[in-house]
């Protein structure tokens, strides 16, 4: 299993305007083969900080995700919002154990 975890930053004034773009990408991505989980969340204490959490069946599914039209639309659309501070990383993992 592949985990993708990280953050990026939007200007706080752009968070609401970027919402529909991010929501459409989340919905399309969750329908992809091999996507086990996909979410963006806003940091409660740091306006404009967006947390990215993804879980993929395997690296091939993640690589296919990067080739989709909705990912191209996301990358293009985020340019209008002056996104910065991308720190998103992949990790290989097992299924984990419940806490």
Q: Is residue 98 part of a domain?
A: no
Expressed in angstroms, the distance from the first to the final Cα of the chain is: 19
The model's pTM is: 0.91
pLDDT at 79: 87
- The reply to whether 96 falls in a domain is no
Q: Which domain holds residue 79?
A: 2-90
Angle at 52 between CA 47 and CA 54, to 5 degrees: 160
Give the CATH number for residue 40. 3.30.70.100
Q: Count of domains in the chain?
A: 1
pLDDT value at residue 78:
87
Q: What is the pLDDT of residues 14-35, one digit of tens each?
A: 999 999 999 999 999 999 999 9
Each residue of 37-94: pLDDT tens digit? 999 999 999 999 999 999 999 999 999 999 999 999 998 998 899 899 999 999 999 9
What pLDDT, on the 0 to 100 scale, is given for residue 66?
96
């Amino acid at each position: 299993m592949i985990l993708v975890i990280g953050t990026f930053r939007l200007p706080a004034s752009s968070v609401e305007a970027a919402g529909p773009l991010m929501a459409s990408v989340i919905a399309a991505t969750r329908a992809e083969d091999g996507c086990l989980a996909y979410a963006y969340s806003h940091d409660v204490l740091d306006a404009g900080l967006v947390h990215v959490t993804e879980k993929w069946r395997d690296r091939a599914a993640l690589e296919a995700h990067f080739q989709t039209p909705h990912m191209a639309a996301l990358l293009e659309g985020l340019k209008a919002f002056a996104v910065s501070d991308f720190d998103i990383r992949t990790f290989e993992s097992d299924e984990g154990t419940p806490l």
